Structure 1
């Protein structure tokens, strides 16, 4: 078994509209001028770094934006340009939602249960409905089409559509898998938080993952009762701005890398984990050393924790974690201690960070056997040559900057569409396939 990280390529419509309630970085940068070309190149640079570390790397594609078809469902009519123009004139907020490039954060694309955990021995993927946020709730249809195409071989994969919108589901951002190795039947941990929480400054932070949604996915994937658990996220973490669990905890094989205040009942979570995974290693940041506020501002726990070909583990961290002295001093102690984490790799994903997503937000983890890996549509798998082709398209087609007022410009609408079409063409996707 090997783990493949499928990163979302930042789309040409990447902008700072501040649509994500409860996401501090998104809100604080609302109205700023974005840099889509730089953002996409930064994300691609992270993918190249993973390949250089000897890890398989996948890709999920930007969605079609601005989404005129979605606006038609809201009563606008006419050609695409007529629909977009009317939305901008009558309700600009709707066009901002239709313009969002947030599908880049593929940790929210789906929840993935690898084959060793499921009743039928296939890898199950359930597309997330993301119904808590309007701009994200429009993603799941296109996500389903991509995943159904990438994982089409029914011998190895089962791809499920999104749950009904009444059950808020945020995908793998509220999910962890812990076991002795990727190849072993493991404990799948679903983290939920249904109640909105008020922060210290009076702002309200919504909890996005419903317990019933997590339970439904566990049933749908055929998980045994002993092989999954549902645990509540710490309300103090939500109130500080941890809108998803992956902002305060990440797991890989037998290692849980977490903040002390990530879970509502920390001791119970640890007991369940140690009972089910006797070899579990818990690396915990004490609140006295790393405050929740600092952890969230630096996205320390939104790092990717990966197993390298030699067997040791590496943390793929944002630059912001390197630049915070208290965080970096603690991390140096972690890699010097007796645990599997032996390497720190720093990547620049500042454009994504400014919009509220770190390295782990940008990837969907899929653990597969060698045979299942070979059955994945190769157009969704990267090597250096594919990266070179993608980089050339980004450099040529992606807008350099997008200011808030640009969203109403037809030239930008056309450029975003033509840029995505050029990417699909260079990767071998036929017109209308996605």
Structure 2
């Protein structure tokens, strides 16, 4: 069995809108009430997937969840009130950020030799807490081969869990045994710490991981207060390399030491605060990037276009590319619609190490399927959504029909 890392990107849903529902997400709050462009957002996402398909030869995707969520509206006793959260939550397209779909432990790390996935409960935010039942159903279809995958229930909702956005893995190669690093926050700060330590400890046991190859690290409270609501806003890992901001962890050197104790080959690329401030790193999402191993063994960093537009960030990137470090290429991509709602390239993907032949092929991208996605999106996704449009009959009909058209085009009838 040939194990490779597959990035499963979320297709941006037809209800993509800017309601500013995510407390602690600076970009989301900044664009609250703006007009969104779901069609452009989804096409930007497909273009990003095409790029990685060309680079890596394999790419997956996950689907938008059903919206509007009438069951949530009923549970909230929504009666047309203008309360922003009650009005907008059932329309949220935040499942597009599949880094929060689940925590994934590949087969080489687990006791039973299966790839384990635990959907995130996302209980901290109302608009995200609705996602997990539909996400779990989708994971059970995409990864339904029980000989190779195990899809679990969520962690108890007492403990907040935001999935792979706070999870890193270090290894000599994606198909070899790795060390899994779980980054959590402490409650009590200006913004909620969304990832609870106990949920990750439960998930590590449930996945059958070797305790000696698990590391638990506290995120820097100052980073959370600055807008790093997930660890992947200030750190990204790939194989031996940790690319991180100098203020990512509560105890920066202690974090490095803890990882090295389990994985001595760790190579740290730390961006100092005097080169790129924490605020600028969060604004441009330098670390909310995809760090990829290319076929020739070199590493490339896929960053938002906003990084190239920042003098400080791009100066650092150019110096990094000119050095003898492990990251030799920095590739900007346009995901502005996602960025405006608080999600960069890393938010849009879930990393799964597996044999592609064990995945339901309907969830794997090729050029013909990318063309099909572009066609369905261009024909059915709303061109724009204004906040006042939510719950209109016309928009409701269009959003429901758009997802139905996508499922039909992909022949994924189980998720109707």
Superposed pair shares fold, TM > 0.5: yes
> 2:367 is matched with which residue: 360, 384, 390?
384
2:403 is the alignment partner of 1:411: no
CA deviation string 1:227-271 (max 9, x = no partner)? 101110001111111000000000000000000010011111111
Trace 1:95-114 onto structure 2 (pairs within 5 A).
Answer: 95-114=87-106
Query: For 2:188 and 2:40, how far apart are their aligned partners in 1?
Result: 35
Partner of 1:39: 41
Trace 1:82-97 onto structure 2 (pairs within 5 A).
Answer: 87-89=79-81, 93-97=85-89
Query: For 1:101 and 1:252, how far apart are their aligned partners in 2?
Result: 28
> Alpha-carbon deviation of 1:334?
1.3
2:167 is the alignment partner of 1:165: no
> Alpha-carbon deviation of 1:122?
0.6
* Cα RMSD after superposing both structures: 1.2
Partner of 1:62: 64
Relative to structure 1, the CA distance from residue 429 to residue 165 in structure 2 (aligned partners, 3 Å threshold; closer, same or farther) is same
Partner of 1:182: 174
> Alignment partner of 1:53: what SS?
helix
> 1:125 is matched with which residue: 117, 121, 124?
117
> Alignment partner of 2:282: what SS?
helix
Query: For 1:180 and 1:296, how far apart are their aligned partners in 2?
Result: 29
> 1:311 is matched with which residue: 297, 304, 322?
297
Query: For 2:55 and 2:243, how far apart are their aligned partners in 1?
Result: 20
Partner of 1:195: 187
> Alpha-carbon deviation of 1:196?
3.4
> Alignment partner of 2:85: what SS?
helix
Query: For 2:192 and 2:334, how far apart are their aligned partners in 1?
Result: 29
CA deviation string 1:10-63 (max 9, x = no partner)? 000000000000000000000000000000000111001101213311010000
CA deviation string 1:148-168 (max 9, x = no partner)? 100011111001121121110
2:357 is the alignment partner of 1:374: yes
Partner of 1:433: 415
> Alpha-carbon deviation of 1:69?
1.8
Query: For 1:212 and 1:264, how far apart are their aligned partners in 2?
Result: 17
Partner of 1:349: 335
> Alignment partner of 2:168: what SS?
strand
> Alpha-carbon deviation of 1:92?
5.4
> Alpha-carbon deviation of 1:180?
1.4
Query: For 2:186 and 2:67, how far apart are their aligned partners in 1?
Result: 30
2:211 is the alignment partner of 1:225: yes
Partner of 1:269: 255
Is the Cα–Cα contact under 8 Å of residues 180 and 277 in structure 1 kept in the other structure? no
Query: For 2:325 and 2:150, how far apart are their aligned partners in 1?
Result: 35
Partner of 1:249: 235
> Alpha-carbon deviation of 1:146?
0.4
Is the Cα–Cα contact under 8 Å of residues 16 and 32 in structure 1 kept in the other structure? yes
Partner of 1:49: 51
> 2:380 is matched with which residue: 377, 380, 397?
397
Query: For 1:206 and 1:146, how far apart are their aligned partners in 2?
Result: 28
Partner of 1:25: 27
What TM-score, normalized by structure 1, do the two folds share?
0.93
Gaps of 5+ in 2: none
Partner of 2:347: 361
Partner of 2:267: 281
Gaps of 5+ in 1: 76-85, 198-203
> Alpha-carbon deviation of 1:194?
2.8
> Alpha-carbon deviation of 1:275?
2.6
Is the Cα–Cα contact under 8 Å of residues 55 and 308 in structure 1 kept in the other structure? no
Query: For 1:339 and 1:233, how far apart are their aligned partners in 2?
Result: 25
Count of aligned pairs:
414
Query: For 2:92 and 2:291, how far apart are their aligned partners in 1?
Result: 28
